[in-house]
Amino acid sequence: MAHVSAPTGPEQPTLAGLAVPAPRRRPRTPPSLTPASSLPVARVCVDLAPPHLDRTFEYLVPESLDAAARPGVRVKVRFAGQDVDGWLLERVADADHTGRLLPLRRVVSSEPVLAPAVARLARAVADRWAGTLADVLRLAVPPRHARVEGERRSAGGAPDDSPAGTDATRPAGGDAVPSTDATAPGSTASAPTASAAVDPTAWAPYRGGPAFCRHVAAGGAPRAVWSALTAVGEHRWAAAVAQAVAACLAGGRGALVVLPDARDVDRVCAALAEAGLAGVAEGGPVARLVAEDGPAARYRAFLAALRGAARVVVGTRASAFAPVGDLGLAVVWDDGDGQHAEPRAPYPHVREVLALRSELEGCALLVGAHGRTVEAQHLVESGWAREVAADRPVVRASTPRVRALTSVELAREGPAAAARLPGPAWRAMKDALASGPVLVQTPRAGYVPVLACGRCRASARCTACHGPLGLTRGSTTPSCGWCGRLATGWRCGECDATVLRSVRVGSERTAEELGRAFPGATVRVSGARAAGGVLASVPDRPALVVATPGAEPDAPSGYAAAVLLDAAVASAGTRLGAEPDALRRWLAAAALVRPAADGGQVLLVGDGLVRPTQALVRWDPAGLASRELAERAELRLPPAVRVVAVTGARDAVGAVLARVDVPDLEVLGPVPVDAADGAATLDPEVRALLRVPLPAGRALAHAVAASVAVRSARREGGAVRVEVDPADVV
């Protein structure tokens, strides 16, 4: 070791009675690093938030890390004087940087968690939504769980030196976009011969359904938008998804199914088990990838797909990035559900992520639901995907009878027509209880969540925070839904009255009222805020089942009837897509009812909006979505155009907009954004909308991302949020 001379010059002597400080250790110069003999330069994506750092950085691969530093592994690197996390994207022979390269600090884990196909998809998602690669990779790759990573690999796992999901396990030319005409369900184009027999029994009622399964089994890449009819029986949607997955496996490729919540994951996993496809723990090819299962279970399922032990991944939103080897089929169910929209930057949607993945990897895509979103209809009308739906005679034979009990329909009832549960609905429920359970859907949870003045009908607000007042079960004193204060001695600020009336009735109050209306009947409540939580299923015994949208439990033989309450509340709203979303919720409940031939009926109670009400009676979600799409095209709203919303402080938004220069750009705003509580602020946020035709959407996203990166590099003040095609554009 080289001798280090002591510093010269006077030193401050230690005062009497104080401990002598230890001499300060001087940093030693690290020994010279020998670079790896082959591909010594690593290109790394550093896990940092600033947008101006959204690029790869080059580091030297030391010879000591040559074996462990493989593409896809997690690494630690030195950046701006501190150790930061990163992903090693690739290794190359020569560096683009002309200066000295810093070495990799260490390889966190030898597991290549970032498959090349997933890395390409993450980059495409970041570009599509004007985000950064690091933000997308945080969504795509779950946090490391060291104990799970060290567990013994299953017998079907890939060896350490050839992990599943690398380019060696994927077909060449995966980036090519398949031709729409050649890959559409029911197309006359020739397809390769399937390697195994396909039994698409559940797809028999749908025009183009069996052809879709055969094409997938033969190795093709069809893209379809599917309108499912029923959620019970032999042709239920979960069984159809399972048969499509089985067809994909019969062709020797993997499959990915993304669902809104854990209950739907359970339904599909059960259907796959019925089709002979068990979970990985039972020796089958199916992995369940759900964040609610916990970090260990999630990471275990992720590794099963990465290592090739699982050829099928069934999960929720984050599983859209699952590293399924040789992906042949991607399925998204109920794409209109809000759970498919990522709440974190850059706010991608599962439907669009899987559409990008279908193009990049050349896999089949199936977008299914009981309803039809406007975005899915746009895929059909643009020719990018084909429709898989039942003919009208099949729809009439497979669905229950639907009646809309509007004020016009109930005019003969006189004053009783204003009742929340009118006479015809009560009589239908009483008759249906003799043959099975009855489903009652209410759009609100809780007891009485919204109150108003009994005289002037003004909304009842808390005097402390201006939050909405409501009633909880067993309480006669209203309380604030925001701060929780009891509103004792409340007086209306408009007319000084002290009487309150209910405006919205929740599921618990509905169950209480039904218990009085049907004495002796069993009443069950299903919902996230209910005492028993969300029920998975109910027996085929007479009972009243009160549920909020999305929490409807299954009945093995289907419900005898369903009553959809408060249609005006369910279909109200000024947000974009309010009408198709109301129809989607109604159809999801109606699909649980027995067919009309077996006595099943659905009653829609209340004066809902005319178009979704008529679409429910006709069971025609595609017709409503098509009319909505035509209106949006005329008004130049998404998905007919590309829109980017920039929200933040006025000066910050103005600086971002000033650097965006795209042909055919139309800037709307900026305009103030209303505060959530209606209170005025000194510096209110503003929002501007940038609108371009669809062909210019990629250029707009790139220009906005570049402007935000410049803002980050210059450290401009204020906060800015960028959203591409936001749901609340109106």
Q: Looking at residue 341, what is its pLDDT?
A: 94
CA–CA distances in Å: residue 60 to residues 34, 36, 42, 132: 9, 8, 6, 24
Q: ω into residue 639 within 30 of 0, thus cis? A: yes
Q: Are strands 327-333 and 364-369 parallel, antiparallel or unpaired?
A: parallel
Cβ(555)–Cβ(590) under 8 Å?
A: no
Q: CATH code at 673?
A: 3.30.70
Which residues are CB-neighbours of 3 under 8 A, at least 6 positions away? none
406 and 385 together in one domain: no
101 and 146 together in one domain: no
Does residue 709 lie in a domain region? yes
The total number of structural domains in the chain stands at: 4
481 and 588 together in one domain: yes
Q: What pTM did the predictor assign? A: 0.86
623 and 655 together in one domain: no
DSSP string, 211-271: HHHHHHHTT---EEEEE---SSSTT-HHHHHHHHHHHHHHTT-EEEEE-SSHHHHHHHHHH
Does residue 459 lie in a domain region? yes
| Last residue within a domain, chosen from 365, 394, 423 | 394
641 and 620 together in one domain: no
Question: What residues of the chain score a pLDDT lower than 70?
Answer: 1-32, 152-198, 416-417, 474-475, 675-683, 730
What letter does residue 35 receive in the DSSP assignment?
Answer: B
CA–CA distance, 372 with 332 (Å, rounded to integer)? 13
Q: Looking at residue 194, what is its pLDDT?
A: 36
Q: What are phi and psi of 701, to 5 degrees?
A: -60, -40
Q: 331-370 burial, b if ≥16 CB within 10 A, otherwise e?
A: bbbbbbbebbbbeebbbbbbbbbbbbbbbbbbbbbbbbbb
| Last residue within a domain, chosen from 364, 394, 424 | 394
Q: Looking at residue 528, what is its pLDDT?
A: 85
Residue type, 318: A
Q: Looking at residue 24, what is its pLDDT?
A: 56
Helix pair 610-618, 621-635: axis angle to 10 deg: 150
Report how far apart the first and last C-alpha atoms of the chain are (Å, whole number): 71
CA–CA distance, 617 with 567 (Å, rounded to integer)? 13
552 and 622 together in one domain: yes
Domain, as residue range, for 60: 34-110
Does residue 730 lie in a domain region? no
Q: What are phi and psi of 77, to 5 degrees?
A: -130, 160
Q: Looking at residue 507, what is its pLDDT?
A: 84
Does residue 15 lie in a domain region? no
